[in-house]
Amino acid sequence: VLARFGKNKKLALLLPLTIFTLASCSNTDPVPIALNKDACASCKMTISDGHFGTEIITKKGRDYKFDDMDCMKHYLAENEQGNVAAWFVHDYTKENVLIDATKAWYVQHESLKSPMGGNIAAFATKADAEKLAEEKQVKVEDWEMVSKSNHSGDDGHDH
């Protein structure tokens, strides 16, 4: 292949690098939330609780981080949801560990006290969610239920 490029061997070497760089722009892996450093894309408060954070990755590979589910919902209500390629939530049982939000299980209860009052905890396993749901005497919800509901009764923002 290099022989075909003759004097443009540098171009031949740069081509794969350029393709790799462009391909990496559409990354849909979670970007770890830097607690006490990253700001919520919706309310601009510093994200400090590693049990309730959420994140979206756009189709262009850009990540937006939120301090809880209500901030993410508020942001998406004002911005086009069709641009989202991936959704992530903190696993309530493991501080600052992001999991696929569409496969997570959820428990909502006022005693959970998330930063913006959504009070929704996400779990990687249904068993972990059921354990807390039983304790709080509420039902476990899946992504379809929790992503469409408005638990707080308003926009969830008192700031």
pTM: 0.77
* Residue 3 pLDDT greater than 50, yes or no: yes
- For residue 85, give Cα distances in angstroms to 30, 89, 100, 140, 150: 11, 14, 11, 25, 22
Per-residue pLDDT tens over the stretch 91-139? 999 999 999 999 999 999 999 999 988 899 999 999 999 999 999 999 9
